[in-house]
Amino acid sequence: MKKIIICATQRSGSTLLCKELEATGVLGRPKEFYLKAATLSSKAEANDFIAMMTSAGTTENGVFAVKLMQDQWHLVEKAHSEFSTHLVSDISKKIFNKPKVERNAQSLYDFYKDALWVYLQRQDLIAQAVSREMARQTNICHAVPNGASKAGLGAKHGHCLEGSELIDYNLQTHYDFDSIFKHVQAIKREEQLWQEFFSAYKINPFSLSYERIVTAKAYLLDLAGKLNIHLPHKPVNSSLLKLANEVNDEWSQLFRQDLQTRHCMI
């Protein structure tokens, strides 16, 4: 089985990436499966979860794909090792005092060490932070055309709108410098931990940016090529609509102005 793991942070375009990989029919069916690991309470449940995840995330050609946010590392640990006995491993961690990133992500590496690691970032850090704050205030994370399927989109982190509901959906929100600044710092910490993880395990990920995947789809050919997979000749349509509007743009502009006024660095 070939594996793809998408390494991301919230509001970086990861849902779009997942939808486009799935739409190819040959690059897995990536989702945030590990969110369901939070309620696991036994080894049997963990085994069932891993089997379910593997089945649900695999396309007919045997490619399994999954999406993981940095703040979900503990869920990988829970699914793959919390209910197992790893006495020697646990002792070695204590004796050799492994770096924190390795102690917290060993199970992640062990299960996906032979995978294609896809590292997705958003170049516009402020836009990503604004998107997080907008999602927090509206509890809306995605939008699809009228009548399109919302399967997998109305999840833990927010609801999904239809196109006709997008008009003025965020007019009741309010600009909050402090909240956006906290989001910026959180994103930076999460990105730093991903980079420390890649460095610790000598992983050279296939890097993508939100800005690249929204403008051109050639990246799918590059990604498939890494796995020696031939993409079928068919259009890729994610069925996602853009949420960001003039309110997002206004907040980004205000935030940049406030950074200068307050003499803050990011």
Give the residue numbers annotated as catalytic, written as ranges.
Answer: 32
Q: Is the pLDDT of residue 91 over 80?
A: no
Provide φ and ψ at 204, rounded to 5°.
-105, 90
Q: Which domains does the chain have, with CATH numbers?
A: 2-261 (3.40.50.300)
3-class DSSP state for residue 112?
Answer: helix
Q: Residue 152's pLDDT band (boundaries 50, 70, 90)?
A: confident
Question: Mean pLDDT, to the nearest integer, of 222-228?
Answer: 98
- How many angstroms separate the CA atoms of 89 and 242, rounded? 46
Burial 77-89 (b: 16+ CB within 10 A, else e): bbbbbbeeeeeee
3-class DSSP state for residue 153?
Answer: coil
Compute the Cα dihedral for 232, 149, 21, 2 and give only its sign: negative
How many C-beta neighbours within 10 Å does residue 240 have?
20
Q: How confident is the model at residue 154, as a pLDDT?
A: 60
Label the pairing between strands 63-69 and 159-162: unpaired
- How many angstroms separate the CA atoms of 28 and 233, rounded? 17
- How many angstroms separate the CA atoms of 128 and 183, rounded? 8
**Mean pLDDT score of the chain, rounded to an integer?**
92
Residue range 8-65, pLDDT digits in tens: 999 999 999 999 999 999 999 999 999 999 999 999 999 999 999 999 999 999 999 9
Residue range 174-187, pLDDT digits in tens: 999 999 999 999 99
- The pTM of this model reads 0.91
Q: How confident is the model at residue 25, as a pLDDT?
A: 96
Label the pairing between strands 2-8 and 63-69: parallel
**Alpha-helix residue ranges (DSSP H) falling in 97-176:** 100-112, 125-138
Question: Mean pLDDT, to the nearest integer, of 155-177?
Answer: 88
